[in-house]
Structure 1
Amino acid sequence: MRRIERAYGTFSRLVPLPGKVREAEAKARFERGVLTVSLPRDTAEAAKKIPIES
């Protein structure tokens, strides 16, 4: 598969996320052609412990 993105006009992309995030704390930064997005996880969706039976 080949993707070509043009450098003119508006641009948008939708990326599905694997869990809930705190939208109010989301941040995005565009610097030197690189987009960095920070999406902190919701504490209710944090890592879950699974007991291991032996």
Structure 2
Amino acid sequence: MKRYFKQQKFGVSTTREFISSMEKSTNRDLLPFFEDHRVFLSDQELLKKSTKKKAVS
């Protein structure tokens, strides 16, 4: 977590980037953990796409 915070401090990151960073530091697949805690990458990605469409319109 400290490494992730140092890398992303005052920046913008995504849930996918956070999970990826945690997986690298633990050498584990953490997707099931996040899904169990109702953190779904697809929700964020869908939100991102709909925001881009609104900006273009």
TM-score bin (small chain): under 0.3
TM-score normalized by structure 2? 0.20
Name whichever structure is richer in strand by fraction.
Answer: 1
TM-score normalized by structure 1? 0.20
Name whichever structure is richer in helix by fraction.
Answer: 2
